[in-house]
Amino acid sequence: MSTDLQDAQETPEVVEAPAREVVIQTPTASALFMARRRECRLVLDPIYPIYGPAGQKVGEQPGRTVEFRDGRFEIPAGENMTIGAGRVVKTADIRKWLEGHRLNGDTAEGFWQVPTPTPAPSQDELMGLVTATGEGDEAYLREFIRREESGFNRTDLIEVAQKGLEQIVPAPAGEGD
């Protein structure tokens, strides 16, 4: 036999989707790598000669290279990109390969990834937090916190959103006493 109190305790909390779009800045999927040398060239796959039946060279299988220009190599925010000799490759594969390369982080002879700067909170983000708190929009604040934690993770904005949430949703009895 189930009582109303037991049913209330077993029911999970359901928060609806925000009534309006959550305004938040998110990091781009692009990445910038810098090298000390102006024309750094890294070889993914070397050029292989192709030999005919008599042992003579009849051609070459093209290789794949990552070529820095003016000490820069940028991975665009897309699925595919073009690298040296016009070869098209998946951006995720190149990024993973560069991040695992033995010369990554070597500022003397290798290359390094330039960190994406964390932007200051925008006017739209701040107004969204103020409006959501004033209107009691719990779903907006929870979604804002979730997106910010998985994005730039700016602690100041997360704390403001959590304070707004505390004003809307009272803490359970026994907490914070």
Residue 161 lies in a domain: yes
Q: Helix H segments across the chain?
A: 4-10, 91-99, 123-135, 138-150, 155-168
36 and 110 belong to one structural domain: yes
Residue 70 lies in domain: 31-114
Which of 114, 133, 159 is the endpoint of a domain? 114
40 and 109 belong to one structural domain: yes
pTM for the structure as a whole: 0.59
Residue at token pair 């040398």: 37
CA separation for the pair 73, 98 (Å, rounded): 10
pLDDT digit string, tens, across residues 33-75:
999 888 888 988 888 889 989 889 998 888 888 999 999 999 9
Q: What is the pLDDT of residue 105?
A: 92
Q: Which residues contact 5 (CB under 8 A, 6 or more apart)?
A: none
Compare 28 and 152 and report the one with higher pLDDT.
152
Residue 76 lies in a domain: yes
Residue 19 lies in a domain: no
